[in-house]
């Protein structure tokens, strides 16, 4: 067994082989079984009770709930007004600096203390009438430690923040760097295995990194002893070491000629983080200067910081989520703000007072980076699954990405509301995290995997069976009550948001049709008013499938389009279009000659022959295969369609009869 792909570790593992750890095998079997049991049981329930839904999953549905609940928070959010007061100051030697109001009339001001313009004007007047003297200067040294080397989730997060890479894109690029790049005619793997939750580095790697730091930056950038890191995740398996360059001497600039732009960006990011994790601390001197007015009881504060030793900052700064307005996300907010030389007891002058109105902002929507971070904090999912979870949510049209942030689609909110109401336990964050912990206990031989499955399956299967008696009316009533404020928000003029805009007498609400949910009038069929959801593109496109169909890809073998079509007997997949083969000029000539001879023979027999209609061109029907009832047609992808089109398939000759099977 080896946890690092180095010559020393592999040779040592080969010298001391061991039996297969069946506890790890059982944990894998349990994880796979749980995913199958949830997905294969819940998805059909959604198809029957909530048409237009795509799928549900043990982890994907919990991730979707996070996005939907954040959307609920944003919709419920009511902005609050607040004001800030800052001043342009000058020292006795007329050196400028900036300060902000922190105390007024003996009360410490927090963010919301100045609630309106009137409060701000009182503060401005107090500053304007005051005479300020420096009462306290506080100096302290702050040290910053480097972040651990990358694991899968932190690599995905940082690549998202810095480059806008999606999790899937990051993993595809990392996979190529791991598999190998052609360098001088030789295929060289540039990074270690990229699906890992371990933050440790091999001893050989650490020694090489420290040598490189000393060579590139000098001994002052090298701590006395190697840095060791421990995982913060209680469910970390740490089967592999952290993501690092296979050879730290391969500096990014040396590799640049052999890499694509995105490969270079990701390799440089990994190289820098790996170097930084073994470098010295960054050291900052922070200064806080308090200035008071004895006459108006107002206190101003000026803050400054100076980077006195950059340490690991020389190479790398970790990004942060949800930077303040104007922030780039490229590192920490510790820019050098150098204050002029000042002393306690010195008088300072107010040059200008700036009061500014603000409004509180709702919690930000999740980015890929912040969603992965939140899943990790909740101990939900595994590093290797985050990219696929996010991709599935987008493929199923449950969420969409706008300005690199996730917005819940109406379909996603319907699915979440359904699951929260009828399967609440199984989309709870704690329940999903507890399952992850049980899987870890199985791998540690603390739990029996079959017992875990039995304890899960009993109550879960009963819950699934209990939905068979759910009527569409019950489902609609529950969803309408839960999501009514979203679909029918209050109107500006105070009128009833549910009044039918067509007949004026009916009330609009959620309705379910063959292809999914929509908004309709309760006076149907007298009133036929309907409204599709804002982004339910596939529901409105369902009727269009009866034409030439919707193209879902290209068959690599024939180059023909693969289509999803609608016929009189339901939906089906089709390979290519109907081909019309026109007659050649030679065939047309022969056909005309045959027709002339036929007419001539008929006339000789005393008949008056009628001319035949011209022969129609030949048509070749495309191959078509119906979609099984248990398959959701709108989750159809190219691989699934090609699989259906390959049926029936010849497997070979029967060994006894010799007949083709």
Q: Which residues are tagged catalytic? A: 193
SS (H, E, C) 559-588: CCEEEEEEECCEEEEEECCCEEECCCHHHH
Distance CA 177, CA 171 (A): 10
Distances (CA, A) of 247 to 182, 188, 191, 574, 655: 15, 10, 8, 50, 54
* Cis peptide upstream of residue 397 (ω within 30 degrees of 0): no
- List C-alpha distances in Å: 571 to 516, 575, 628, 631: 15, 14, 9, 11
Q: Give CA–CA dist 8/10, Å, rounded.
A: 6
**How far apart, in whole angstroms, are the C-alpha atoms of residue 101 and residue 296?**
12
Cβ-proximal residues to 110 (8 Å cutoff; 6+ apart), any chain: none
CA 630: distance to chain centroid? Answer: 28
105, 106, 119, 285, 655 from 126: Cα distances, Å = 9, 12, 11, 31, 100
Determine the 3-state secondary structure of 509 from DSSP: strand
DSSP letters for 84-145: EEEEEEE-TT--EEEEEEEEETTEEP-TTSS-SHHHHHHHHHHHHH--EEEEEEEEEEEEEP
Under 8 Å between Cβ of 599 and 612: no
Find out whether 382 and 233 touch, Cβ atoms under 8 Å: no
Q: What would the two tokens of residue 169 be?
A: 């894109």
- Calpha distance 372→153 (Å, rounded): 7
Whether residue 16 is preceded by a cis peptide bond, meaning omega within 30 degrees of 0, is no
Which residues 6+ apart lie within 8 Å of 346 measured at CB? 91, 92, 133, 134
Report the candidate in 167, 152, 235 with the shortest Cα–Cα distance to residue 432.
Answer: 235
Q: Are 234 and 177 in contact (CB under 8 A)?
A: no
282 with 310: CB under 8 angstroms? Answer: yes
- DSSP structure string for 299-330: EEEEEEEEEEE-GGGGT-----SSPPTT--SS
DSSP one-letter string for 390-436:
HHHHHHTTSEEEETTEEEE-HHHHHHHHHHHHHSGGGG-HHHHHHHH
CA 596 to chain centroid, in Å, comes to 72
């Amino acid at each position: 067994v080896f946890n690092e792909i180095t010559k020393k570790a592999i040779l040592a593992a080969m010298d001391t082989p061991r039996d297969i750890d069946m506890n790890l095998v059982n944990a894998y079997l349990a994880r796979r079984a749980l995913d199958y049991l949830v997905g294969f049981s819940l998805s059909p329930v959604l198809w029957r009770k909530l048409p237009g839904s795509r799928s549900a999953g043990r982890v994907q549905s919990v991730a979707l709930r996070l996005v939907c609940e954040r959307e609920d928070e944003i919709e419920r959010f009511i902005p609050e007004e607040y004001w800030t007061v800052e001043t342009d100051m000058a020292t006795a030697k007329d050196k400028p600096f900036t300060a902000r109001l922190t105390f007024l009339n003996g009360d410490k001001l927090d963010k919301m203390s100045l609630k309106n313009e009137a409060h701000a004007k009182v503060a401005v007047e107090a500053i304007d009438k005051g005479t300020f003297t420096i009462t306290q200067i506080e100096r302290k040294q702050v040290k910053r430690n480097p972040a651990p080397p990358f694991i899968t989730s932190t690599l995905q997060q940082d690549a998202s923040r810095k480059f806008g890479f999606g999790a899937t894109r990051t993993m595809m690029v990392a996979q190529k760097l791991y598999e190998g790049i052609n360098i001088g005619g030789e295929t060289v793997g540039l990074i270690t295995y990229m699906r890992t939750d371990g933050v440790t580095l091999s001893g050989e790697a650490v020694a090489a990194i420290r040598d490189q730091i000393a060579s590139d930056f000098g001994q002052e950038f090298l701590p006395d002893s190697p840095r060791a890191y421990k995982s913060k995740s209680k469910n970390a398996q740490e089967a592999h070491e952290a993501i690092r360059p296979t050879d730290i001497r391969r500096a990014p600039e040396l590799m640049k000629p052999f890499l694509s732009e995105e490969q270079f960006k990701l390799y440089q990011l990994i190289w820098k983080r790996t170097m930084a994790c073994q470098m010295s601390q960054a050291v900052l001197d922070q200064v806080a200067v308090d200035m008071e007015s004895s006459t108006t009881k107002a206190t101003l504060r000026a803050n400054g910081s100076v980077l006195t030793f950059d340490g690991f900052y020389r190479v790398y700064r970790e990004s942060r989520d949800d930077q303040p307005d104007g922030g780039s996300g490229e590192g920490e907010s510790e820019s050098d703000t150098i204050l002029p030389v000042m002393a306690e007891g010195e008088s300072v002058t107010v040059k200008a007072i700036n009061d500014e109105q603000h409004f509180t902002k709702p919690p930000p929507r999740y980015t890929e980076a912040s969603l992965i971070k939140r899943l990790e904090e909740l101990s939900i999912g595994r590093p290797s699954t985050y990219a696929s979870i996010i991709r599935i949510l987008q493929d199923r049209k449950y969420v969409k990405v706008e300005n690199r942030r996730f917005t819940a689609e109406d379909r996603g909110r319907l699915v979440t509301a359904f699951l929260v109401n009828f399967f609440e336990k199984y989309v709870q964050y704690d329940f999903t995290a507890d399952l992850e912990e049980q899987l870890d206990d199985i791998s540690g031989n603390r739990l029996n995997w079959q017992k875990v499955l039995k304890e899960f399956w009993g109550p879960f299967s009963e819950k699934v069976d209990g939905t068979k008696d759910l009527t569409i009316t019950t489902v609609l009533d529950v969803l309408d009550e839960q999501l009514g404020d979203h679909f029918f928000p209050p109107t500006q003029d105070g009128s009833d948001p549910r009044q039918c805009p067509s007949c004026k007498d009916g009330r609009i609400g959620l309705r379910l049709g063959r292809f999914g949910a929509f908004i309709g009038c309760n006076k149907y069929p007298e009133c036929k008013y309907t409204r599709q959801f804002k982004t339910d593109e596939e529901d409105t496109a369902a009727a269009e499938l009866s034409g030439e169909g919707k193209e879902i890809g290209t068959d690599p073998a024939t180059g023909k389009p693969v289509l999803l079509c609608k016929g009189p007997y339901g939906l089906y997949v089709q390979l290519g279009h109907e081909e019309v083969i026109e007659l050649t000029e030679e065939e047309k000539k022969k056909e005309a000659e045959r027709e002339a001879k036929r007419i001539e023979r008929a006339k000789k027999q005393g008949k008056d022959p009628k001319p035949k209609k011209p022969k129609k061109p030949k048509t070749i029907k495309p191959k078509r295969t119906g979609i099984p009832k248990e398959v959701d047609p709108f989750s159809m992808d190219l691989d699934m369609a090609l699989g259906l089109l390959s049926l029936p398939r010849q497997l070979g000759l029967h060994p006894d009869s010799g007949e083709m099977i």
